[in-house]
Amino acid sequence: MTAYLELTFDLGSLDPQAAEDACWACGASAVTFVDARDDAVLEPLPGEFRLWPRTRLKCLFVQTHDAPGISRALGAALSLDPALIGAQELPERVWEREWLKDFHPLRFGQRLWVCPHHERVSEPGAVVVALDPGLAFGTGSHPSTALCLTWLDAHLAPGARVIDYGCGSGVLALAAAKLGAAQVHCFDIDPQALTAARANAQANGVAQQVQVHDRADTLPAGTDVLLANILSGPLCTLAPRFASLLRPRGEVVLAGLMQHEVPDVTGAYATCFDVAPFGERDGWVGLVGQRH
């Protein structure tokens, strides 16, 4: 059985990209940034890369039986004392699944759960979205996503027609479908997100209810609920478009904005919607508006 060599060191003041590049240059097969203490870093926004205040870097090598030599080479590349680089031999594992052990079910509201595939929720009456963290934004750990999921659990009417605009992984669309929406239409500008949303809908058995759109202009009008967990700038710009997609008295759920951005977003929607906050978490605010 193949053995592996794992080298670890504190990132400290080293440039993260330069440190990662040095690991690859020394022959690493995998490089991972991990929390060296216990500092929370919530799900990043699209395109954002966030590290912990104290970060450790782990790099995995196919065992060459020369741990000291690899440590010296990596230390030289990083201008780091090799004595500060920890080394241990690891047995063969299914490494692509190993990191998922740190992810556990999350509950939103009374019924709704987002659960990684390797775990189970036994709560009576639970509505479960099975979702592993991936490359597309959206697992429920970010406050804005959590706000939307909690709103869906409390307010989505069975049989509703829903749009998830800026769907990322499709977590909101999947939750809406599992909570009884008749139709859910997803759109995102990121092709990777569309691929993830389709795969996640299939894995959750809701592919018949969830339709993924490559173009925004194919989204249907007359929708009951439109969810947009994006950023405040696009939210403001898209207000007229969202109004055109909703039926009279239909609801728009807006997230991805901070407390100081609420007045601008509320103002952008005032012409067509009655908008009010429905929740706040860690400075992030959720707004809901009813179409005039």
Confidence of residue 52 (pLDDT cuts 50, 70, 90): low
Q: What is the mean pLDDT of the chain?
A: 89
Alpha-carbon gap, residue 63 to 41, rounded angstroms: 32
Q: Between vectors from CA 243 to CA 238 and to CA 245, what angle results, nearest 5°? A: 95
Beta bridge partners of 238: none
pLDDT tens digits, 16-27: 999 999 999 999
Which residue in 211, 210, 167, 160 sits closest to 190, CA to CA? 167
pLDDT at res. 135: 47
Alpha-carbon gap, residue 228 to 164, rounded angstroms: 6
Segment 201-218 shows an average pLDDT of 97
Confidence of residue 55 (pLDDT cuts 50, 70, 90): confident
Alpha-carbon gap, residue 217 to 265, rounded angstroms: 23
Per DSSP, the three-state class of 50 is coil
Q: Which residue has the higher pLDDT, 34 or 42?
A: 34
Alpha-carbon gap, residue 15 to 81, rounded angstroms: 16
Segment 179-208 shows an average pLDDT of 95
State pTM to two decimals: 0.71
pLDDT at res. 255: 96
> How is 53-109 classified by DSSP, letter by letter?
SSEEEEEEEE--S-HHHHHHHHHHHHT--GGGSEEEEE----HHHHGGGG---EEET
Q: Tokens 């998922």 sit at which residue?
A: 100
Least confident of 132-141, 239-248, 249-258: 132-141
Q: Which residue has the higher pLDDT, 192 or 51?
A: 192
pLDDT tens digits, 83-100: 999 999 887 665 555 555
Alpha-carbon gap, residue 109 to 93, rounded angstroms: 36
pLDDT tens digits, 249-287: 999 999 999 999 999 999 999 999 999 999 999 899 999
CA atoms within 13 A on the CB side of 110: 6
pLDDT at res. 158: 96
Q: Between vectors from CA 80 to CA 44 and to CA 4, what angle results, nearest 5°? A: 70
pLDDT at res. 254: 98
Segment 122-143 shows an average pLDDT of 80
pLDDT at res. 41: 47
Q: Between vectors from CA 27 to CA 66 and to CA 72, what angle results, nearest 5°? A: 45
Alpha-carbon gap, residue 153 to 35, rounded angstroms: 32
CA atoms within 13 A on the CB side of 193: 24
Alpha-carbon gap, residue 156 to 279, rounded angstroms: 16
Q: Which residue has the higher pLDDT, 117 or 283?
A: 283
In one letter, which amino acid is 212? Answer: V
> Could you tell me where the DSSP H helices lie in the chain?
16-25, 67-78, 95-98, 143-155, 171-178, 191-203, 232-237, 239-245, 262-269
